[in-house]
Amino acid sequence: MLPSAKSLEGKRVPNVTFKTRTNHQWKDMTTDMVFKGRIVVVFCLPGAYTPTCSSTHLPRYNELAGVFKANGVDEIVCLSVNDAFVMNEWKQDQEAENITLLPDGNGEFAAGMGMLVDKSDVGFGKRSWRYSMLVKNGVIEKMFIEPEKEGDPLEVSDADTMLKYINPKAVAPDPVVIFAKPGCPHCARAKALLESKGYRYDEISLGKHITSSTLRAVSGSGTWPQVFIGGKLIGNADSLEAYFGARKAA
């Protein structure tokens, strides 16, 4: 049986040493190095490359990292009972440049938290239960532990729940997608404008499986680029400039 969130709040995180790899060299990272004198959001999950972890849990924390930091968080840490090689490769695969991925290879941190669970039924062995916490100077202020039920629940340890706890008035940025064409100056102008406004974006480029027909099908126009913000079609680079101009005037 897992401990309750209330029973862990106010306690210090376990004192362990994480075996990390940087520039092809082993580097020990202690609990103090991660938490001492800092405000850290931690989310722990069953395994790198697993479906929920890769599709939702990690990407959303990475996406909202700027908002967390604007609200006083020094670092966002992802922990899993995986080795350093796996965690480094997963970080690269996920393009999670805003997240620090730490390997809890022996499950020492998970065990110290009372969150080490047996997933032998799916061939995982001992793994961490899914949870998140806000840690200030090594002391747990707030815990969100997923309910003990079948499957792989992600109901309370997600990034949006944590952000709402830290600042209920914080506004998460709208997701942005830009359909772009290599070498297109108008695409470059639109991307530069998004970056200047602090927007992260996903880029879908013209290629073997993305054609002008695809662009017309999703946007109604064959002109590159086409920008979507928060699920709404903004249009080409000129339309994007007009969009930001209207927001500034308002």
pLDDT digits (tens, 9 = 90+) for 31-62: 999 999 999 999 999 999 999 999 999 999 99
Percent of the chain with pLDDT over 70: 100
Q: Is 196:186 a contact under the CB 8 Å cutoff?
A: no
Residue with tokens 């997933």, as numbered in its chain: 119
Burial 168-200 (b: 16+ CB within 10 A, else e): eeeeeeeebbbbbbeebebbebbbebbeeeebe
Radius of gyration (C-alpha) of the chain in whole angstroms: 21
Type of residue found at 82: N
pLDDT for res 96:
95
Residue 151 has pLDDT above 90, yes or no: no
- Domains within the chain, CATH numbers bracketed: 7-166 (3.40.30.10), 176-249 (3.40.30.10)
Query: Given the structure tokens 């995986």, which residue do they identify?
Result: 82
Whether 53 sits among the annotated catalytic residues: the reply is: yes
C-alpha pair distances (Å), 59 with each of 21, 117, 231: 22, 24, 18
Give the dihedral of Cα atoms 238, 242, 243, 246; nearest 10 deg.
180
Alpha-carbon dihedral 117, 122, 123, 128, rounded to 10 degrees:
-30
pLDDT value of residue 40: 98
The whole model's pTM is what?
0.85
pLDDT score at 247:
85
Exactly one of 44, 53, 78, 187 is catalytic; which is it? 53
Per-residue pLDDT for 250 more than 80?
no
